[in-house]
Each structure stands twice: as structure tokens, then as C-alpha cells.
Amino acid sequence: MQTSSNSWLIKHVQTIVSDQIVEGSVVVEDGKIAKIIEGDAIPAPYEQLETVDGLGGWLLPGFIDMHVHGGGGADFMEANREAYETITRFHASKGTTRMLATTVTASPEAIAAVLEATHAYRDGDDMPNTVLQGVHLEGPFISEKWPGAQNPAFIVTPQVEWIQAWNEQYPGLMKQITFAPEKENAIALTEYLAESGIVAAAGHTDALYSQVVDAADAGLTQAVHTFNAMRGLHHREPGTVGAVLTDHRIHAELIADGHHVHPAAIRLLVAAKPRDRVILITDAMSAAGLGDGQYDLGGLVVDVADGVARLRDGGALAGSTLTMIDAFRFMLAHTGLSVAEVSQMASGNPARQLGIDDVTGSIAEGKLADLVLTDTSFTDVRRTWVEGRQIFG
């Protein structure tokens, strides 16, 4: 057989293939996974290829982060290429191959600026690091009772016409919108999002159990940072959390850093939800990758101490300094889940929610070579590739 000049091989890796661990090699050709080889022997057509030695580490599908505000000292709300390259370069070094540029509750002008900047970034000749798959609007249609680290000055009732106008101006760019489903016009918004192929997500919400179920009937399919900034579980009024745990139409985002959600609550979540309904996210802010100190999130002052970000005014958790590789390792340490199961939550499930699981999110012949190579303990990311192009390592 003939091999392309754009072919290469990574050997001596443990790879997740169809929920199984395959020890061997993977051949990449023209940006796609061309061959998965079990065992140490390299077949003749491939033995002359440029080779990366995985040294017995793990080769995983690249992580897909649906909820991330920034990193490396930059925030998507800055709405410029320099910030976007800083953020995507940092998260590439932690194994993330695709992400959604996530906004905060802000003025419509500030949100529109992020949409324009992301459109321009995606439309350019080069996205050199992690791919911006689109935009996630977190707010401003949220509950005044559960603002979390969102600026309450910009909270408004759902404005379906704003979303329609932005969707017409930037078709396909908005991938997820977070809102409180109990608010006026929320069901109309949910129906529009479902019709438009945009993930409708409940977050920063005081919704009753029945209100979340009604929203799921209308097309709501995701819950944002489950347990955080939402009405909790009560045995007579199950609330937002009760609906998320029991309605399996809803995918549950999870910040697995040990600060946002207790390990016991994480185990409760993964016991309650099907494996394909949990999505690991970082909710990372600009402080991710940097040290303790003072930072800004949507115009609010955030203090980071011992890696935990909190609003100076009130002390609410303000995003995180988490990375996807750290979330991956935390889940393995605290849940009893297998590597394959955690990989599904970090890659396969978000790929399916974004409608890109036919080309990425898992390792299979014919899929894009969005890959991350780690050491055996998932402590270090050694290399990251997007469509076969090395973006870190």
C-alpha cells in the first residue's frame, strides 16, 4: 500500500478504542486516523514512517471543553485574537483540542463583540492551537437569585430576538446558551434553540423540578456546572438538581476539581446518570495556569488563593483554575470509573452534544486525529494534536 508524505505513526501507547484498551500503535495520514495496530509489531507498509514513541503512555481522544472562559492570563470577553491565542495555546498544553469560547453575563454589545471576534478567529487562515468550535453564551438570561460569579447588573429576561439576530448574523457560531428555564420567555427560547441546533442549557437557575422537566420537553438538553448555582435537591421538591439527576434527556456538566463539587456528590451524579450523559468541563477563568493573585471576571474582582477562585465581594466561587487533564485525573481518583468511561465524559459526550462525534471525540479509523498523549499517571500532557498537526509538545 502507498502512504502519504503526511503520514506518521505513534507507537508504544495504550489507546482507548471502542471502550477497550488497545496496546500498540496508531497511524495518522492526512490528518486522520488511518490504522490502529495492536501489539508491538509494525506492519511493513508503516515501518518507515516518521515515528513518535509514546513510551507506554496513554493516547486519548483530544479533550473537548464546552464551558471555558479563559486561561493563561486571558479571557474570551477581551474579544481579540491575542487573547484567543493565549487561551487556546494554554489549554492545548493540557490536552484540549476543541472548546467553546464562553461568555459571562454582560451587555449585549460586549457579547456581540465576542461573537464577532470568534467569527473572525474561526474564519481566518489559521487557528494554530486548540480549535474554537463556537461560542457558549453563559447568560445574561439567568436567575437573579443564583448569579454566582456573574455580574447581576446585566441579568435580563430571555430575549429571543437577540439570539435570532445573532444566529442570522453568525450562522452556526452559537453552540450553547445557558439560561434559567423558570424565567419568562424561557420556553420560547428553548424551542428556538432546539430548532436551530443550539444546545439549550439550564444554569444559574432557581427552577423547580417541574419547570426543568417542562424545559426538557421543549428541547433543553444540558445542565451547566451541575450542583453549582442552581436550586438543590429536596425530598419534597427535587428542584433543578433532582431533575438533572433523574431526567436522562439532560446532560450534566461537571467541574471535577474537588472545590466545586464534593467527591461524594460526584459519585452520586455518576451513579444516577448514564455514562453518556455526563460532560466534564473546566469553567476555567483567566487565572488558569497562573499563580494566586487578583484577577477580573466580567468586571468583577476575583481573588485566587491556593488555586481556588472566589469573588472578592461575597466569596462566591468564580469559575476555576482547572484544566481538562486535571479533571480527568480527579475523576479516576475519586469515582472508580475506568479510563474509557472518563474519556467518554471528557471527549465523546461533548462531541456528540456538539454534533461532531462522527469526526472526532473518539479514536477510530477514519476519524480526525485529535489526540492527546499523556504519561501513565495522567499527570503530564506530552503532546497534543489537532487533525494530525502537533499543537503542543
**Cβ neighbours of residue 112 under 8 Å, at least 6 residues apart?**
166
**DSSP state, residue 282:** -
Find out whether 200 is annotated in a ligand binding site: no
Low-confidence ranges of the chain (pLDDT < 70): 1-5
Find out whether 259 is annotated in a ligand binding site: no
pLDDT at 6: 86
Per-residue pLDDT of 238-289, as tens digits, reads 999 999 999 999 999 999 999 999 999 999 999 999 999 999 999 999 999 9
Find out whether 349 is annotated in a ligand binding site: no
pLDDT at 316: 93
C-alpha angle 307-308-312 in degrees, rounded to nearest 5: 125
Find out whether 260 is annotated in a ligand binding site: yes
**Cβ neighbours of residue 336 under 8 Å, at least 6 residues apart?**
267
- CA dihedral sign of residues 110, 113, 119, 122: negative
Say whether 154 sits in a helix, a strand or coil. Answer: helix
**DSSP state, residue 363:** -
Find out whether 317 is annotated in a ligand binding site: yes
Q: Is 283 a catalytic residue?
A: yes
pLDDT at 3: 46
**DSSP state, residue 276:** G
Out of 206, 283, 326, 370, pick the active-site residue: 283
Per-residue pLDDT of 8-56, as tens digits, reads 999 999 999 988 999 999 999 999 999 999 999 999 999 999 999 999 9
Burial category of 66 from C-beta neighbours within 10 Å (exposed 0-12, middle 13-18, buried 19 and up): buried
Find out whether 319 is annotated in a ligand binding site: yes
208 near 183, Cβ under 8 Å?
no
Find out whether 368 is annotated in a ligand binding site: no
pLDDT at 5: 54
Distances (CA, A) of 374 to 7, 160, 248, 362, 366: 21, 43, 32, 16, 22
Single pTM value for the model? 0.97
Grid coordinates given for 327: 479533571
Domains of the chain: 7-60+362-392 (2.30.40.10), 63-353 (3.20.20.140)
Find out whether 387 is annotated in a ligand binding site: no
Find out whether 297 is annotated in a ligand binding site: no
